[in-house]
A and B are shown apart, each in its own frame.
Chain A
C-alpha cells in the first residue's frame, strides 16, 4: 500500500502540473474499514463519508487547492424532484440546492461550475443564493461566457452576459471563466459558419477576448480558459496561441470511452487521449466535462455492468469513470452534475479520498469501452442544447427512452422473439409514460434546426426517424 503511494507521488511530481495531497488519508481510510469488518458493528452497508479526506489538486498558477470533484449546476433538482434537464419548465428546488451545496462544502468540495445558459438561465441565480451563504474563500466559482445566439455577438451584449454572471452569482470576481463551447458552428442567415469563423465572431472581432484578458489583469477573472467541443481547428489554434493568451485551464470532454473512441461517440469529436496530451505538453490544467457521458457510463448494458461488478461488488458503475479520470495527473477537476443527494454521496465517497486505478483496472475499462462502443446507442448526453425543438418534440427524452430499452435488453429483433410481446409493451407504454404523444418522435418534421446545437453532433432527425420506424414496426408487428 505505502509503496504504491510513493510510486504515485513520484509519478505526480514527474507530471508536474498538479499534485494530490491526500496520500496519508488513503491508508487511514482503509484502516477504518478493516476495523469495522472485524468488529462487525455495521448495521447498514452505507459507507460513512469522511469530511476531511477530499482529494485536491493544486492550480499551478494560483497555488490554490481545487477539489478533484467539482459540482456542475447543470442538472439541478426541481420542486417536483426531477432534474431540471428533463423538466425545464419546472421551478428549481432552491431548498434542496442549498442543502446539497452545504453538504458538498462540508465534505471538502470547493469548486462549483455553472453557465448563464443552464436550466433556462436560472442556474447562476440558484448558485448565487446557495453559495453566498458561505464565506467567499470557501469555494471557487466557475462559469462561462455563453454568447451562442448571433444576437448576443456584439461586445455590449456579451459583456452584459458577463456582468450578469457577477450579479447573479453575488460576487466581485470569478475564479474560472470559460469561453463556452468553442468549436461550435453557428448558422447565420441560413449559412453555416466554420468553427473558426464562429469563434472569431464571438470572441475576436468584437474585442470580447481583449476585454476578458483585461478583466483577468484586473483580478476580476482569476483564471481564463475555454471549454471545447466539436471543430478541432479552433482547439489547435487556441492551444498554439497559448503563449499569447496564457490559458489557465481548458475544459474537454473526457472519460474512458472518449479516450480512444470519441469519433465513434460523435464524428465531430476528437479523442480525449490526443486533447489531454496536447494540453499536458503545454502544461495547461484540464477541467473534465461529461465524466460519465451524460449518465451513460453510470448505467452500462447488463453484461458490461457485470464485468465491473465482478471486480468490485459494492462500487457504483459511475465511480469507475471517476477513478479512471482521477488517475490522470493533469486533471485539475472533474465536473459532475449531481441532481440528487445519492449522486453527491456516491461521488463524494469515490473522491474522499480517490483510489486511483491499477494497471489491471485500466485494461479492464479499456475492454468495457471496446464493447460499449459497439452497442447501437444514441450518443445523447441529455445536455438539452437541442431544446426547445420548435415543433415541440422532446428529443432528449426520446433518445433516453430508446437507450434505456437498449441498455436493459428490451429491444426485439423480430416478432418471432420469445420476449416480443413483453418488449413491445415495455417500449410503447414506457414511451407514452416519459413523452406525451404530441411530443413523440413521429412529430419530428426533419427541419434539422436542432442539429447545429448538438455538441455530440447527432443526426437528430435521422435518429428520431429510426426510432419512429422501430415503433411503427412494433405496433404493426412487422418486425
Chain B
C-alpha cells in the first residue's frame, strides 16, 4: 500500500509540468538512496541504511519507484501465466562486478554510470516516454477548456528534448519491463547497484524472513510467489541479499511456517567519493552565419512572415542552471533523473546528447529562456546537483555570459534598428552603443560582470536560425 503511494507519487511528480506536486511530493525524491548519497543528504542516507539494517531491503519494495514498477509489471504478468517464480542462485560475482564498474564510473564522473541507477533510469522512462503522452492528454483538455472559456487547463508544448535520452529511456523501459515480466526482480537483483549495496546490508539485518522447517510441508507456494526468486523451499532458506522484505511469502503460506523475526548482524556502508573534473569537450565549429528573416515587400495585407526555428549554437561551455555552483559540482552530483527537465516550465532544460555529459540536463534557449521568477529545478533536484536557491539569490548568480556575434546582428546586417536584447535583459547587462566604424548603427555591448546567463537576449534575438547574441556557460558560477 505504502509502496503504491510512493510509486504513484514519484511517477506523478515526473509527469506533472505545472510544478504544483513537487511541493507535496518533493521529499519522496529526496530520500532516494543514490541521489541522497550524491547530495550528501546524510539524514536520508542514514535513514535508508538504518531501515535496511533493521528490516532488510524494504527500501527496494516500497520507496524505489523502479522496484515497485517491476512488481507492478510482474503482477500483471501473473494474471496471464500460472507458474511464476523458481529459486535461482544469486549471481554474486556479476552483481559485485557491476557494482564495482558503477562505482568506478561514478568516481570518474562518467554519466554512463547513471544508465543503471534505478531512480534516475525510472525518471528517464517516465519523463521521456510518458510525460509527452501525459502532456498530450492535458493539451486535449486545454483545448476543451478553451472551448468553454475555462482557464483550468493550459496547453504545453511537446518537443523532443534529446533523441539519445529518449533512446536510452526506451531501451531501459524494454529491458526492465520484459525482464520483470519474465522473472520478477531480475534487474533489481542482478544489475541494480543500489540493490547490491543494500543487499550487502540486508544479509545482516535485524529482522528477517525465516522458514520454520518443522511447520513447512514443502508445498513450494512461497518459492513460486517470491518475485525476488530468493526462496529455496527445499532447503528452507532465503537469500537475504535479494529478499526485498515484501512479505508476500508470509501471507501465502498456509501453515504459518514463515515469519519475520529478529536476528543479529553488523552494518556496513559503501559510498563513492568526489575526485577530479572531466572538462566538457564540446568546442564545435564557429557559428554559421545566419540567414536572417528578410523584411518582405508588402503588397497584400495580413498573413504571417515565416519564422525559421532557432538552432542550438555550439557552446564551448554548457550552461547549467543557477544553483549548480559549477560544472564540476553539477556533473559530480547529477544522476540524470530528468526531474528538473520535466519541471522546467520554459522549455530551457533538456538532457545533453553529448557523450561526456550524456543525459545530464543543460540549458538552451531556442524555445524560451530562464525566467527570473522561476527556481523550480533547484527546488526539485534530489541529488544536490542544483542546490536550492531563492528568487533573490538567483538574481545574483552568474551562470553564464552573453556573447555577441557581429555578423548576425540585424542592425549590422540589415540596417534596422533593434535593441531587443538590451530591452529584455533582466539584469541590465546589455547597453546599446554606437558602432565605432558607423555611428548610425547601434549594437549591443555586454557587461559580463552583470550578465546572469539567463538567455533572454538569445531567445528574443530576431536573428534566425542563429541568434546574434548567445550564452556561454560559466565553468564556475560567480556571484555579484
Q: A-side interface residues toward B, CB under 8 Å?
A: 84-85, 88-89, 117-121, 148-149, 151-152, 383-385, 387-392, 394, 422, 425-426, 429-430, 432-433, 437-439, 442-449, 453, 465, 475-477
Please determine whether A120 and B302 come into contact, CB atoms closer than 8 angstroms.
Answer: yes
Q: Is B299 at the interface (CB under 8 A from chain A)?
A: yes
5 A–B contacts from the bound complex (CB under 8 Å): A117-B299, A383-B301, A444-B420, A453-B298, A476-B372
Cβ contact of A387, chosen from B301, B373, B417, cutoff 8 A: B301
Q: Is B253 at the interface (CB under 8 A from chain A)?
A: no
By a CB distance below 8 angstroms, the chain B residues around A446 are 417-420, 423
Please determine whether A149 and B420 come into contact, CB atoms closer than 8 angstroms.
Answer: no
Q: A433-B155, A445-B420 are in contact. Are A118 and B301 (CB under 8 A)?
A: yes
Q: Is B23 at the interface (CB under 8 A from chain A)?
A: no
By a CB distance below 8 angstroms, the chain A residues around B158 are none
By a CB distance below 8 angstroms, the chain B residues around A392 are 293, 304-307
Q: Is B471 at the interface (CB under 8 A from chain A)?
A: no
Known: A117-B300, A429-B154. 17 other contacts (CB 8 A): A88-B302, A89-B303, A118-B301, A120-B302, A149-B297, A151-B297, A384-B303, A388-B296, A388-B303, A422-B151, A432-B154, A442-B460, A444-B420, A446-B417, A446-B418, A447-B417, A476-B372
Please determine whether A391 and B304 come into contact, CB atoms closer than 8 angstroms.
Answer: no
Task: Give bound CA distance, A49 to B157, whole Å.
Answer: 46
Chain A proximity of B476: nearest CB distance (Å): 27
Cβ contact of A443, chosen from B142, B295, B373, B420, cutoff 8 A: B420
Please determine whether A449 and B304 come into contact, CB atoms closer than 8 angstroms.
Answer: no
Which 8 A/B pairs are nearest by Cβ-Cβ distance?
Answer: A88-B302, A390-B295, A384-B302, A88-B303, A392-B307, A388-B305, A429-B154, A445-B418
By a CB distance below 8 angstroms, the chain A residues around B302 are 84-85, 88, 119-120, 384, 387-388
Task: Give bound CA distance, A383 to B302, whole Å.
Answer: 8
Q: Is B462 at the interface (CB under 8 A from chain A)?
A: yes
Chain B proximity of A184: nearest CB distance (Å): 12
Chain A residue nearest to B369 (CB atoms) is: A442
Q: A151-B299, A391-B293 are in contact. Are A443 and B304 (CB under 8 A)?
A: no
Please determine whether B373 and A477 come into contact, CB atoms closer than 8 angstroms.
Answer: yes
Task: Give bound CA distance, A171 to B367, whole Å.
Answer: 50
By a CB distance below 8 angstroms, the chain A residues around B142 are 433
Chain A proximity of B419: nearest CB distance (Å): 7
Please determine whether A385 and B293 come into contact, CB atoms closer than 8 angstroms.
Answer: no
Please determine whether B419 and A121 come into contact, CB atoms closer than 8 angstroms.
Answer: no
Task: Give bound CA distance, A120 to B293, whole Å.
Answer: 20
Pick from B293, B300, B373, B420 the residue with the most CB of A within 10 Å: B300
Please determine whether B299 and A475 come into contact, CB atoms closer than 8 angstroms.
Answer: no
Chain B proximity of A278: nearest CB distance (Å): 28
By a CB distance below 8 angstroms, the chain A residues around B212 are none
Cβ contact of A447, chosen from B151, B297, B416, cutoff 8 A: B416
By a CB distance below 8 angstroms, the chain A residues around B294 are 390
Please determine whether B368 and A437 come into contact, CB atoms closer than 8 angstroms.
Answer: yes
Cβ < 8 Å to A, chain B residues 270-302? 293-302
Q: Is B410 at the interface (CB under 8 A from chain A)?
A: yes
Report how many A-B pairs have Cβ atoms within 8 Å: 110
Q: A439-B307, A445-B416, A446-B419 are in contact. Are A120 and B301 (CB under 8 A)?
A: yes
Task: Give bound CA distance, A463 to B367, whole Å.
Answer: 24
Chain B residue nearest to A151 (CB atoms) is: B297
Q: Is B236 at the interface (CB under 8 A from chain A)?
A: no
Please determine whether B305 and A390 come into contact, CB atoms closer than 8 angstroms.
Answer: yes
Task: Give bound CA distance, A386 to B297, whole Å.
Answer: 12
Task: Give bound CA distance, A476 to B371, whole Å.
Answer: 9
Q: Is B424 at the interface (CB under 8 A from chain A)?
A: yes
Please determine whether B460 and A439 come into contact, CB atoms closer than 8 angstroms.
Answer: no
By a CB distance below 8 angstroms, the chain A residues around B293 are 390-392
Cβ < 8 Å to A, chain B residues 384-427? 410, 416-420, 423-424
By a CB distance below 8 angstroms, the chain B residues around A447 are 295, 416-418
Task: Give bound CA distance, A432 to B153, whole Å.
Answer: 12
Please determine whether B417 and A438 come into contact, CB atoms closer than 8 angstroms.
Answer: no
Pick from A422, A437, A439 the residue with the most CB of B within 10 Å: A437
Chain A proximity of B390: nearest CB distance (Å): 14
By a CB distance below 8 angstroms, the chain B residues around A117 are 299-301
Cβ contact of B301, chosen from A385, A429, A465, cutoff 8 A: A385
Task: Give bound CA distance, A118 to B462, whole Å.
Answer: 28
By a CB distance below 8 angstroms, the chain B residues around A89 are 303-304
Please determine whether B460 and A88 come into contact, CB atoms closer than 8 angstroms.
Answer: no
By a CB distance below 8 angstroms, the chain A residues around B154 are 429, 432-433
Chain B proximity of A243: nearest CB distance (Å): 34
By a CB distance below 8 angstroms, the chain A residues around B419 are 445-446
Q: Is B146 at the interface (CB under 8 A from chain A)?
A: yes
Chain A proximity of B395: nearest CB distance (Å): 11
Cβ contact of A445, chosen from B157, B368, B410, cutoff 8 A: B410
By a CB distance below 8 angstroms, the chain B residues around A444 are 420
Pick from B151, B301, B424 the residue with the most CB of A within 10 Å: B301
Q: A446-B419, A447-B418 are in contact. Are A152 and B307 (CB under 8 A)?
A: no
Task: Give bound CA distance, A89 to B301, whole Å.
Answer: 11
Chain A proximity of B35: nearest CB distance (Å): 30
Task: Give bound CA distance, A425 to B305, whole Å.
Answer: 29
By a CB distance below 8 angstroms, the chain B residues around A477 are 373
Chain A proximity of B455: nearest CB distance (Å): 13
By a CB distance below 8 angstroms, the chain B residues around A389 are 304-305
Cβ contact of A432, chosen from B155, B305, B418, cutoff 8 A: B155
Task: Give bound CA distance, A391 to B299, whole Å.
Answer: 17
Chain B residue nearest to A425 (CB atoms) is: B151
By a CB distance below 8 angstroms, the chain B residues around A383 are 301
Task: Give bound CA distance, A117 to B300, whole Å.
Answer: 5
By a CB distance below 8 angstroms, the chain A residues around B300 are 117, 120-121
Pick from B154, B302, B462 the residue with the most CB of A within 10 Å: B302
